[in-house]
Amino acid sequence: MAKRGGGEDLEILETLGDFTSKENWDKFFTLRGAGDSFEWYAEWPALRDPFVAELSSFSAADTPIQILVPGCGSSRVSEYLYDAGFRQITNIDFSKVVVSDMLRRYVRSRPEMRWRVMDMTDMQFADEFFDAILDKGGLDALMEPELGSKLGKKYLKEVKRVLKFGGRYLCLTLAESHVLGLLFSEFRFGWDTSIYAIPQEPCNKPTFQTFMVTVVKEKLGALNPVRSLFDHSAVNCNAKQVHALNNAVEDENKIRSNYSTGADILYSLEDLQLGAIGNLKELLPGRRCQLILDEQGSSLYTYKTVLLDARQQPDPFLYHCGVFIVPKTRAYEWLFTSEEGQWVVVESSKAARLIMVFLDSRHTHASMDDIQKDLSPLVKNLAPGNPEDEARIPFMMANDGVKQRNILQNVVSTITGPIIVEDVIYEDVDGDNTGLTSLDTKTFRLLTFERSLGLVQSEALLTREPKSNPVESVGKKNSLSSKSRKKGGKKRSDSDKLIDGSRSILKVDHSCLASSYHSGIVSGFALIASALEIAASSKEKVRTIIVGLGAGLLPMFLHGCLPFLEIEVVELDPLILDLARKYFGFTEDKQLKVHIGDGIQFIKNANIVPSPSDTKHKVDDSKTVSRSHDGKVKKTLANGNSNAEIKIVIIDADSSDMSSGLACPPADFVEESFLLCVKKFLAEGGLFIINLVSRSPAIREMIVSRMKVVFGHLFSLELEEDVNEILFASSSEAFIHVDNSPEAWTQLKNIMKVHLPERQMLMQKIKCLK
């Protein structure tokens, strides 16, 4: 760092070496002797006008302004300010030698002036105590390039703490790039910064120019450009120095301009601590910002993070602050990537402030314990309130609550992508909504697509049977490929599995529904119970189309429960059919067929082909992953119309684009053109059922509005424990029980070969939307 002084002074300065060493400064002031003074950078005549002008801005204050001079040394600036009328001056220095000398010098002549031995990076003053801070080279001394910016940051943090709102920090500096870099970044948000050139004698050779950076404490979050308030042409002693300063100001103002646009700014933790979005210790309803969360030298990883202060909450918050970890496999879902979805998470978390942390490939090999330990000190910096009153910050995570899992198959489909078949035991199933017989341990078989791990495609209850008992191997002849069989040998179907080598077998139970939304779909059949009852009694077939096979659990249950249904399942991915056969005991017969193809095109063709035939329909593939279920039956109605036909269409397909906000069904299945196609297919009546999964109220409302326009009647069943909503639509009153009467449910139960448990009877929860 360059210094200004006489030849003898410079020789003594050479003895300092480290400008941050207390011992070195004690030695320096001892060598100079008592009663001597030393000025950094500029003498009082050059400083009088800019200093007095800045301090006079407080002239309207009711009480004398409080001035702090950190790193005062033996300068006479405080003496001159005192004589100019500014009496409340506190001088600090960590050199006991110089403070003792200055106290003896001024204790009688200027009694109101105070002197304290104190480290300027750790001041012992109350918050917002001073109106002005005069720094005559102190920051430059702390910012020796080889020592880094640690001490400089500590000092400026203290400056900001002890300075009152509206107060001024006047920093005399040589404006070296590393010093300006720290000054500009530390005072970027909520401060007004100006730069002046201190007058100096004309010179014939380059010497260092002294500048005064004036920073005024304003409202947190405010962004003001840095202003250079001096005549650049008049500062000609060191053109290189001035040119570097101008470049630094220009670069900083570009940064501030980018921040001021407010569009998807990615802040740093330091930015937030500096006040980029206001006071972090206060909750600001509706505040949201994105940041990179890390701390150099202390954190193991960096984390993409979103900070959200709850917009409104009718009930008291459970937590003042919470952390929600989004695993890599779910980071692309609408619920976590969209702003609207993130607010849904905030509301459900019951936290006044939610810190949403996204994991990615950088965290692949880290355990969750390591992640939590690494995050804990970081998120404390973002918590509202005072650290002394700090409450425990809970960590939450989007997971599936699985206690134990056994992966049976992990395969990649060219259409669906990675697919997982696994047997799981949940942490706690006592509160489930399946209504199944209580077992000591319930084991479920899941079919999951990796593209949407937050959604279980299919969930089947497994029952245990003794190994010695004859096994009705409904699917033992089916496997993923003929190559999986050993020549001349027999292989047990993977839908039947031995448990831990014991003499018992796990088998999919097709007489019950483990998924509550499947129960909801079946419950909706009560809306057309009268028509179904007539079909059953007249032994007529009801054409039923299901788009989306999954594990085949819904069509298998319907097939066994309502055997008069003529079920056609449309599945785009042939591998899904293979998995359903191999692992879930799915089988086909004359009343239950599967078509590999596109569901939308299948229903369009069904409008041309009036009734299903034994020959399989050939359907063109498309880019949309779809699954369809459709049924058609002629019957004599109670109103005497013997020519009416009832059909059922069920859309139970997931979307390949989880970021769209619509997880089920694919968007093409709720386009008006397709809805009109379904209406045409249903013709005189029937029931159209959609399994809707969307956390976006706007998307849900758009779909409901479209369906209201196309269909004369629309009903909804919202499942409290799931995000699923089942929509039931019909264009005719001929088949619909509009009043949702208990008699309709009784009618349905009477024709069902397999009854749903009482807890799964959801007819009474179905609401009429139109």
Q: pLDDT, tens digit, for every residue of 255-266?
A: 888 877 765 688
CB 613 within 8 A of CB 587: no
Q: Is the pLDDT at 30 greater than 60, yes or no?
A: yes
Read off the pLDDT of residues 673-684 as tens digits, 9 standing for 90 and up.
999 999 999 876
Residue 63 has a pLDDT of 84
Q: Which residue has the higher pLDDT, 319 or 472?
A: 319
Distance of CA 413 to the CA centre of its chain: 29
Give mean pLDDT, residues 317-324. 91
Q: Which of 306-310, 631-635, 642-646, 753-757 has the lowest mean pLDDT?
A: 631-635
Q: Is the pLDDT at 3 greater than 50, yes or no?
A: no
Taking every pair of Cα atoms in the chain, the longest distance, rounded to a whole number of angstroms, is 119
Residue in 92, 119, 39 with CA at minimum distance from that of residue 103: 92
Reported as a pLDDT band with limits 50, 70 and 90, residue 148 is confident
Which residues are bridge partners to 567 per DSSP? Answer: 544, 592
Give mean pLDDT, residues 200-209. 70
Q: Is the pLDDT at 590 greater than 80, yes or no?
A: yes
Distance of CA 54 to the CA centre of its chain: 46
Q: Is the pLDDT at 441 greater than 50, yes or no?
A: yes
Q: Which residue has the higher pLDDT, 264 or 440?
A: 264
401 CB-contact burial (10 Å; exposed 0-12 / middle 13-18 / buried 19+): exposed
Residue 15 has a pLDDT of 54
DSSP string, 261-330: H-SS-EEEHHHHHTTBTB-TTS--TT-EEEEEE--TTT-S--EEEEEEE-S--SSPPSBSSEEEEE-GGG
Q: Is the pLDDT at 566 greater than 90, yes or no?
A: yes
Give mean pLDDT, residues 108-130. 93
Read off the pLDDT of residues 700-710 as tens digits, 9 standing for 90 and up.
999 999 999 99
Residue 495 has a pLDDT of 54
Query: Encoding tokens for residue 498?
Result: 């031995």
| Most confident of the following: 8-17, 334-343, 435-444, 473-482 | 334-343
Residue 481 has a pLDDT of 36
DSSP string, 515-537: SHHHHHHHHGGGGGHHHHHHHHH
- pTM exceeds 0.85: no
State what percent of residues in the chain have pLDDT above 70: 77
> According to the 3-state scheme, what is the secondary structure of 678-719?
HHHHHCCCCEEEEEEECCCHHHHHHHHHHHHHHCCEEEEEEC
Mean pLDDT of the chain: 80
Reported as a pLDDT band with limits 50, 70 and 90, residue 89 is very high
